Structure 1
Amino acid sequence: MRVLIAGSSGLLGSALVAALRDSGHDVRRLVRRPARAADEHSWDPPAGRIDDRAFEDVSTVVNLCGSPMGLRWSAARKQMIRDSRVEPTEVLAEAVAEYRIPALVNASGVGYYGDTGDTVVTEDSPRGDGFLAELCEAWEEATAPAAEAGSRVVNLRTGLVLAKGGLIGPLKPLFWLGLGGRLGDGGQYMPWISLRDHVAAVRFLLEHETLSGPVNLCNPEPATNAEFTRALGHALRRPAPWWVPGFALRAALGEVADEMALISQRAVPAVLEKAGFTFVHTDLEGALAVAL
């Protein structure tokens, strides 16, 4: 299988490239500079430009593009977050349609569901409210040209990915100093997935051609923030006795506090489970130990 990947230099993309190549797949990468290697093709999403040769004999395009969310959002930052996701998707979806590529596997997020409290949400649940919910909807809608042309489209509604270099990195120093603690009351659900399972799930979706539409990439057992905090403390062998009140988070982070830190999303991977996908890391503390 020849796979063309956009966003191949990021945490998820680099892991996916390595795994696909280890499995014998032919991987090509889109880069935003002049191509310097045989497997690279240049593109410029804001300008809508892409090397036509990138699509030769490609069976699937995987798009993992998206700038970091950051810790505080101005209007300009929110526009950049949106553009870095929607613009590349629009360019790729049009190209997939034009070149009749069989499949497009595109990033999205569990932010689609908004704050759902204790309610379990699956891929059939409706879109929620807020900036991230609206962003994810626009992100997924940008794949429409590919779907309308008859290509198989998968939207990866990804949760918190546990990996070296991810969210865990900035938290480690706080926990090492004994300053770890829950956010708010700690009851908010955090859908998580190990990097190994994320990569395996994407491979599974590439190879199972009957699967399409939104797919939750998260563990079957989402943890509350309090459970996550305890598990991280145990994995680091450090106490985590503190807590950060919601008002303090809102003062420090603004809108990000309610959209990312205090939001509760009890998302489960109904599509993956029904299709027979098996998770390697089902224990949160074990997954954290691997990610540290």
Structure 2
Amino acid sequence: MKVAVTGSSGLIGSALLPALRGDGHEVVTLVRRPPRDPSEIRWDPAAGTLDAAALAGVDGVVNLAGAGIGDHRWTAAYKQTLRTSRIDGTRLLAEALAGLDPRPRVLLSGSAIGWYGTNAGSAGAALDETAPPGTGFLAELARDWENATTAAQEAGIRVVRVRTGIVLSGRGGTLQRLLPIFRRGAGGRLGSGRQWLSWISLADTVDALCFLLEADGVRGPVNLVAPTPVTNAEFTSALARTLQRPAFAQVPRFALRLALGEFADEGPLASQRLAPATLVDAGFRFNHSDLATALADAVHRDA
């Protein structure tokens, strides 16, 4: 397949590119800077510019573009950046793909488990993709982000909306921010520690995206999470054991809210217990279903 990727410089994208090439796919990337070689296509989601003709012959697209959810404090301006970097770019891409002839077979478009809200599956079994949407800023963002793919779907392109959980890697994301704290022996549970965390290893994230590109029977929402969600307290204990460091601290809710503002309640204090039902039903096999193994690989191999 010829595969186009947006967000290729991010944590997931930078790991996905060599995997796609290793599987024999031809890869082109959409970049916001001037292209450096023929495999790069310039686009500017903020300005609404993309030369659709440059995408001619593409069989599949993986859309991972978007500003980091936890990279900055959620000011009104940054919340708008989170929205425009996802929604405007996805809409621009979907409309460009819909206008091609022939059109790509598949669009894997990023989303997040924030779609389910801040209290998803906490009272019972883990929720699958049939669960209703939640409320809050991230839930609304995810819904609008997914809806921005409408033009591609209406054009007959197979659209997969990839609701990604907490991706574990020593090279970026939540785990990278936690590692220095835990290595100093200052780690601990956040709030009550009872909130659920739906995680997935970076290796499984990449493998799942490669799998979904060619899984012709899969469309619509897909929970990109491991089949074994854990509580924050369980995650804290597992990471401490991996690093062989104590983790007796507890960060109270009010301290997280003071430090992180609105993001505290929708990020580290949110409880999201999700199941990868669609992936499992489609026959995907996880490399990391056990958190301890995933953390060991992330800490020692991804670092």
> SS where residue 104 of structure 1 aligns?
strand
| CA apart distance, 1:101 | 2.1
Aligned to 2:50: 50
1:169 pairs, out of 158, 167, 176, with 176
**1-side partners of 2:244 and 2:275: how far apart?**
29
Structure 1 residue ranges (4+ consecutive) displaced by more than 4 angstroms after TM superposition: none
Say whether 1:118 aligns with 2:119. no
Name the count of aligned residue pairs.
292
**2-side partners of 1:73 and 1:63: how far apart?**
23
Aligned to 1:247: 254
1:108 pairs, out of 93, 96, 111, with 111
**1-side partners of 2:123 and 2:197: how far apart?**
11
Instruction: Say if 2:32 and 2:44, in contact at 8 Å, map to a contact too.
Output: yes
Say whether 1:279 aligns with 2:286. yes
| CA apart distance, 1:129 | 0.6
> SS where residue 3 of structure 2 aligns?
strand
**2-side partners of 1:154 and 1:241: how far apart?**
41
Relative to structure 1, the CA distance from residue 271 to residue 88 in structure 2 (aligned partners, 3 Å threshold; closer, same or farther) is same
Where does 1:1-292 land on structure 2 (aligned, <5 Å)? 1-69=1-69, 70-99=71-100, 100-114=103-117, 115-116=119-120, 117-119=122-124, 120-166=126-172, 167-292=174-299
Unpaired stretches in structure 2, ≥5 consecutive residues: none
**1-side partners of 2:237 and 2:91: how far apart?**
41
**2-side partners of 1:79 and 1:210: how far apart?**
35
**1-side partners of 2:52 and 2:245: how far apart?**
53
The letter of the residue matching 1:226 is A
**2-side partners of 1:8 and 1:176: how far apart?**
30
Instruction: Say if 2:52 and 2:97, in contact at 8 Å, map to a contact too.
Output: no
| CA apart distance, 1:54 | 2.7
Instruction: Say if 2:111 and 2:163, in contact at 8 Å, map to a contact too.
Output: yes
Instruction: Say if 1:71 and 1:256, in contact at 8 Å, map to a contact too.
Output: no
> SS where residue 141 of structure 2 aligns?
helix
Relative to structure 1, the CA distance from residue 71 to residue 47 in structure 2 (aligned partners, 3 Å threshold; closer, same or farther) is closer
RMSD across aligned positions (CA): 1.0
**2-side partners of 1:154 and 1:287: how far apart?**
25
| CA apart distance, 1:47 | 1.7
The letter of the residue matching 1:285 is A
| CA apart distance, 1:249 | 1.2
| CA apart distance, 1:52 | 3.3
| CA apart distance, 1:161 | 0.3
Instruction: Say if 2:167 and 2:201, in contact at 8 Å, map to a contact too.
Output: yes
Instruction: Say if 2:30 and 2:41, in contact at 8 Å, map to a contact too.
Output: yes
> SS where residue 245 of structure 2 aligns?
coil
The letter of the residue matching 2:130 is D
Q: TM-score, normalised by structure 2?
A: 0.94
CA deviation map 1:167-197 (0-9, x unaligned): 2222112112111000011011110000000
Instruction: Say if 1:12 and 1:199, in contact at 8 Å, map to a contact too.
Output: yes
Instruction: Say if 1:112 and 1:137, in contact at 8 Å, map to a contact too.
Output: yes
**1-side partners of 2:15 and 2:123: how far apart?**
32
> SS where residue 226 of structure 1 aligns?
helix
